[in-house]
Structure 1
């Protein structure tokens, strides 16, 4: 597999705009907390490292990945002038089809929330076969999907803002 030796969160060849002018929401699932806390730390630190003001980062926890949908909706409905919402979760394959239903529902639901508010809603949900794959993508050898979510949020906020300039 091509990603086996690659840090997927490598942005050295990418221009990342300043996050300073923007306001971000981060919604993090509590289920699989060891993983989702690492994703959150990666996202938060990336926003700070790219100039976001701590007072412009609104963080909330929801019980699980399925609840990320309503969590993002609640943030966009109640926090004025958010520029993007980063949704972080982790669903690990089990023995039943529950995994498939949850992953599909979360992906579609977050897409719909973004369209409803015309705001970037970033899918930072790990959908892995096992715990080790999740660890590898939450600060392990494949980087941190939280970092990637933050960079995506910054870039999408900047893209939307570019049409106002």
Structure 2
């Protein structure tokens, strides 16, 4: 597996623009809360580290990863935001429910992004077990929340640059 030997949240190889002029929404699933709280902390801290003002970061909890779709849609419909970060965690169980949820969430988040022509970032872990999720929520493989925040900053910057 490619992730076994590296921290996925190492951004030393790239330039991250300032987030100072952008407004961000974060929608975070409450299901698998130990994991999603860590993802939220990583995303929030990364935004602030790169210049986002705390008052320009709006956070809303939703029940589960499936609800990230309507949460992102509601945020973009009702708030003036430059990007929305969707954070969740779906862990493989004994049924095919995992496959349906992961597929629906990925497609739904993409559709919200297209609908509003705004970056909507997929920060959803889709893991085989709890340990894999924890390893990617601040553990040995970094924090997917950090990655989602950096992606949101870069995409907001791109959108602003292209709209000039």
Q: Give the TM bin, normalised by the shorter chain.
A: over 0.9
Question: Which residue is 1:69 aligned to?
Answer: 69
User: Is 1:30 aligned to 2:6, yes or no?
Assistant: no
1:42 & 1:157 partners in 2: Cα distance? 18
CA RMSD of aligned residues (A): 0.5
1:59 — aligned with what?
59
1:5 maps to what in 2? 5
Q: Equivalents in 2 of 1:108, 1:164: separation in Å?
A: 26
Q: CA deviation at 1:111?
A: 0.2
CA distance in 1, matches of 2:107, 2:93: 21
Aligned to 1:159: 158
What TM-score, normalized to structure 1? 0.98
Rounded Cα–Cα distance in structure 1 between residues aligned with 2:97 and 2:58: 30
Residue 150 (str. 1) matches residue 149 (str. 2): yes
TM superposition shift of 1:3:
1.4
Query: Matched residues in 2 for 1:110 and 1:42: separation?
Result: 20
Query: Take 1:70 and 1:163, find their aligned partners in 2: how far apart are those partners?
Result: 27
For 2:77 and 2:63, the matched residues in 1 are separated by 19
Tell me the matched-pair count.
164
Q: 1:19: which partner in 2?
A: 19
Instruction: Please list every run of 5 or more consecutive structure 2 residues that lacks an aligned counterpart in the other structure.
Output: none
Give the deviation of 1:5 after TM superposition: 1.3
Counterpart CA distance in 2 for 1:20 and 1:135 is 30
TM-score where L is the length of structure 2: 0.99
Moved over 4 A (4+): none
In 1, distance between residues paired with 2:129 and 2:16? 32
Match for residue 108 of structure 1?
107
